[in-house]
Every structure is written in structure tokens, then in C-alpha cells.
């Protein structure tokens, strides 16, 4: 099975030692990824974007991989600032304040008029807005409650391309077709697990993430649009590494680390569900190219149907399905020149 120029449109690479430890796990098999800006402090200036990109490039070495950079959204961004940084970024990421890892400096209110100067400038400049869509309500309802905010913003800024990040609910799936300018990323772990896998028996800390996995009917809604490669959805792993001691602890850190095995898991899932290679190719690359208007580096990833035992850890980070066997292995990666 061959996948051409696979893209991960939602990835956490962290910084410093963690960046150097795990960046190659994505760069080995993906042609590029949209890199999240929620460092400490967050990436919020042009200088910080350029510096972070350089650190990523240094960490991946000779791998054929493009880090598509993002800014941490601030309502104070104006047109002059955005015009100056536009060529360095692929999108801007909005976090509700305090709702997930390193999001304390995010947005506290979603009044369209207060956000208008920044969002209208983004609309005019063609800069997509990525949103972690959760309220601070009951944990199972947070994403469904946020759909009304997505709709308010989509209606108020019809030229603004809005990406609903790592969607997990049937309500978010339904919103895709109600507004022309709404799009979404979907993770592999949300296609595979429900809340029962996380907490139905013994608590599984390495499956705990935000947004939390939901109900079986939500997973089925996600599977439907992913397996048919709905043109408004694309793969985003939300692969989020934490040290083992931060996951297996009181106050378990939120995040599932899937970067080294994401493509293998997707190949198995699409095959088991009877979806074609063409649909998988669209989900992991073609749709993202259309939505973001990007031309990735040429890179062919060859997978083979041979059992692979997932390592217990990657440089101290425990992956999803650690020590378990999955159906597909990585055979080879063929690098090329820009498409």
C-alpha cells in the first residue's frame, strides 16, 4: 500500500528536549504537518514563528518534511501585523482560555464584534482560523455546546475558512454541511476508541485526551465522513507527547501519542471498513491540499500488511497501543522533490 505526500494537519511537537526526541517520529512518514503554537510561552509573534520553525527543522535533520506554522490567536492582532506574518504561517489557532494544555492565554469570550478586527483581516488575507472547540461545561457536552459558537462565527465571517479541530461528536459532523466555510480535522484515536476504552474498566491514561473520546454513535458519525473522505474533513493526529511520568500520575496530562503509528492504524482501519485506498489518500493528503491550498513535498510511504509490535515507548513517551500488535508495518519511505 502506497500513500503519497501524507499530511498531518494537527500536530504537537513541543520544544527543547521533547522536540528533539519526537520530531522525527512525524517527519519520517509525513511530508508535512500543521504545527500547534501552544508552547510556554505561546508562539504569538513573527519572530517566535521563525525561531520555532528553525528549531523544528534542526530537530528533524535530513527528513523530507515541511512544518506548516501557526500563531496563537490574540484578539489584538491587526491587519498590519497579519500582513507582516502571513507568509510565515499556514493558519492561526484559537484556544478558549484554560480549556486544554497550555491554553491559559486563550480567548475568554466569543463576541463576534470584539473579534471582528482580527477575524475580518484574516478573512481578507486568506488566513484560516483553527479552533479547539470546547466550552467549560460538563466534559461530555463541551464540544456539542461549542457548535453554536462555530455557527455564529461562520455566519458572521462567511469568507473566513474555519477548521473545527479534532472533532469528536455527531453534532460537529452535522455542522460541516450547514456552513460552506466550516471544515474539520479528525484524529485516528477518535476513529478507534470511545470513552469506554478510556475509563470503562481500568483507567487508561495513555488514551486520555481533550476533547475526551465520546459515545459509539459519535464515533460512527466520524467514521462515516472519514471513510468516505468527505471533502471538508482531513486527517489531523493531535499527536500530543507527554513524558510517561506526566501521564501515569495524579492529574494525568491530556494527550495521545500516535505519530509513529498513525498511518499504519489508518491503513488497517480503512481496510477493515472496506474503504478504498483512494479514500484514504484523500483523507490523509488530498483534502488538506485543497482546503489549505498547499503543495507538499513529494514523499511516498509504503506500508505492508505485516504485524508490527508497537514499542513500549519512544524516548520516554508511551504511544497508543504500546506493547500491542497492529496489522501494518512501515516498509519504506521514498523521498523526492517538491511537487
Could you give the residue numbers annotated as active site?
238
Q: What counts of helices (H) and strands (E) characterise the chain?
A: 13, 14
The rounded distance, in Å, linking the Cα atoms of 226 and 185 is 9
Q: What cell was used for 306? A: 505485516
Rg of the chain over Cα atoms, rounded to whole angstroms, equals 19
CB 210, CB 190: distance < 8 Å? no
What is the rounded distance in angstroms from the CA atom of residue 265 to the CA atom of residue 305? 11
Alpha helical stretches, state H, 240-299: 244-247, 262-272, 277-281, 287-292
CA–CA distance, 207 with 204 (Å, rounded to integer): 6
List beta partners, residue 185: 234
Comparing C-alpha atoms, which of 269, 272, 296 is closest to residue 285?
A: 296
Q: Could you give the CA distance from residue 165 to residue 180 in angstroms, rounded to a whole number? A: 16
DSSP-assigned letters across all residues of 71-107: EE--TT--HHHHHHHGGG-SEEEE-BTTSSTT-TTSB
H/E run at residue 221: helix 216-227
Amino acid at each position: 500500500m502506497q500513500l503519497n505526500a501524507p499530511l498531518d494537519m494537527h500536530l504537537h511537537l513541543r520544544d527543547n528536549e521533547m522536540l528533539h526526541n519526537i520530531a522525527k517520529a512525524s517527519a519520517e512518514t509525513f511530508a508535512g504537518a500543521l504545527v500547534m503554537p501552544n508552547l510556554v510561552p505561546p508562539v504569538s509573534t513573527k519572530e517566535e514563528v521563525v525561531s520555532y520553525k528553525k528549531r523544528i527543522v534542526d530537530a528533524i535533520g535530513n527528513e523530507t518534511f515541511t512544518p506548516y506554522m501557526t500563531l496563537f490567536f490574540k484578539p489584538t492582532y491587526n491587519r498590519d501585523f497579519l500582513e507582516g506574518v502571513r507568509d510565515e504561517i499556514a493558519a492561526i489557532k484559537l484556544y478558549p482560555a484554560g480549556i486544554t494544555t497550555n491554553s491559559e492565554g486563550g480567548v475568554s469570550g466569543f463576541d463576534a464584534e470584539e473579534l471582528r478586527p482580527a477575524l475580518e483581516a484574516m478573512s481578507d488575507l486568506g488566513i484560516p482560523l483553527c479552533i479547539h472547540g470546547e466550552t467549560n461545561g460538563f466534559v461530555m457536552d463541551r464540544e456539542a455546546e461549542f457548535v453554536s459558537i462555530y455557527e455564529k462565527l461562520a455566519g458572521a465571517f462567511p469568507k473566513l475558512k474555519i477548521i473545527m479541530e479534532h472533532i469528536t461528536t455527531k453534532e460537529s459532523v452535522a455542522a460541516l454541511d450547514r456552513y460552506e466555510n466550516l471544515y474539520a480535522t479528525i484524529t485516528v484515536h477518535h476513529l478507534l476508541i470511545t470513552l469506554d476504552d478510556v475509563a470503562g474498566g481500568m483507567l487508561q491514561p495513555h488514551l486520555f485526551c481533550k476533547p475526551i473520546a465520546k459515545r459509539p454513535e459519535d464515533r460512527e458519525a466520524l467514521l462515516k465522513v472519514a471513510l468516505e473522505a468527505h471533502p471538508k474533513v482531513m486527517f489531523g493526529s493531535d499527536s500530543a507527547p507527554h513524558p510517561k511520568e506526566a501521564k501515569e500520575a495524579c492529574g494525568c496530562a491530556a494527550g495521545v501519542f500516535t505519530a509513529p503509528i498513525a498511518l499504519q492504524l489508518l491503513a488497517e482501519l480503512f481496510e477493515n471498513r472496506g474503504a478504498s485506498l483512494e479514500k484514504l489518500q484523500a483523507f490523509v493528503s488530498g483534502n488538506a491540499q485543497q482546503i489549505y491550498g498547499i503543495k507538499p513535498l513529494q514523499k511516498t510511504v509504503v506500508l505492508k500488511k505485516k504485524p508490527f509490535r508497537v514499542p513500549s515507548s519512544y524516548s520516554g513517551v508511551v504511544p497508543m497501543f504500546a506493547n500491542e500488535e497492529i496489522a501494518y508495518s512501515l516498509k519504506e519511505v521514498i523521498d523526492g522533490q517538491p511537487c
